[in-house]
Amino acid sequence: MTQESTQQPIRVVVPDDDPPVFADSAAIARLSRLPDFDVATFTKRPNNQYELEERISGAHTLIIARSTTRVTNAIIESATPQLKHIAIWGTAADHVAVEAARRLDVTVTNTPNSATVAVAEHALALLMSLSRKIPQLDLRVREGEWPGGQLTQLAGKTLGIVGTGAVGIRLARIAEGIGMRILMSSLSESSYNPTASESSNWTEVSFSELLSNSDAISVHARLNQQTRAMFGAVEFAQMKPTGLFVNTARGQLVDTSALAEALANETIAGAALDVFNREPLGGNSPLSRLPNVILTPHIAANTSEALNVSLNMVVDNVVDFMQKRINHQVS
């Protein structure tokens, strides 16, 4: 440990463990058992930025559990010079003011690719549930009905994948395995290169071409200034009326009002969402009242296998930083 750690306990704060994942985990227990560490975990999200500032006061390290927690310039400035490390649970860092952290000599780390398989599988599960109308049929059978009707077969259909990082590539592989054709729009941000045989079977197209030629679209883009609200009324109007839309990336990539209108007007056939502009999703959201949408609570990464990897990776990042080894630094 550093000289600083021998003088006083290193305060580590998880300000937003809601719903709780860290609190009872073996990973955070491992960190708490180490000498020189004082770990505080809050199992309710802060109500505002002032409450967040209060929780992290005096912290050396923040473990940020939720992408809805905005670690802004002001938040980082309020916590320095004590704050030295922001450890993100997850890959994306769009909710952390990375430039401000760099300017104030605060290191930001993440847990890249720890949930790639889990998120890709969840995206496929949502797509299958949409195409087969599983939630609606389950409800009707429970209510005593025995409905008929036609469902959608995915084999032979075209899946458009927006964003070709690790999750997008993984989904392409498993979707191809069930007989789907693959269109991809990398948005010039690809961080992963498919093999030669894979790339020969997948077609890279423009975003506009992907919208109009896909039977289903799954979103895996990073959130930045260019991609924020990239799916709006114009984009949904370009999709097929039978089109299905899946988002397991970031809620802010989608104009929620435009999506709700497209679903209500049957501009597209259905949507399945694991992420939202505001989380938790309120009961008054127009999405919650639509019959052709499936909603899950930002839980795609929460398999036991992925959690074991990602939670321990966060703790390893914290311990390694204190031993002057920086792993998985966000650039």
C-alpha span between 262 and 278 (Å, rounded)? 19
CB 210 within 8 A of CB 233: no
Residues in the chain: 331
Catalytic residue among 85, 95, 250, 328: 250
Residue 250 known to be catalytic: yes
C-alpha span between 44 and 294 (Å, rounded)? 26
Among candidate residues 279, 310, 305, the one with its CA nearest the CA of residue 90: 310
**Cα dihedral sign, 52-94-225-170:** negative
Residue 328 known to be catalytic: no
Residue showing tokens 């690719």: 113
- Strand 244-247 relative to strand 181-185, pairing: unpaired
- Strand 293-295 relative to strand 270-273, pairing: parallel
CB 112 within 8 A of CB 132: no
Catalytic residue among 51, 176, 209, 279: 279
Catalytic residue among 298, 305, 325, 328: 298
C-alpha span between 298 and 279 (Å, rounded)? 8
Tell me which H or E stretch contains 159. strand 158-162
C-alpha span between 86 and 100 (Å, rounded)? 12
Report the amino acid identity of residue 150.
Answer: Q
Residue 266 known to be catalytic: no
Instruction: Outline where DSSP puts E strands in 163-201.
Output: 181-185
Which residues are identified as catalytic?
Answer: 250, 279, 298
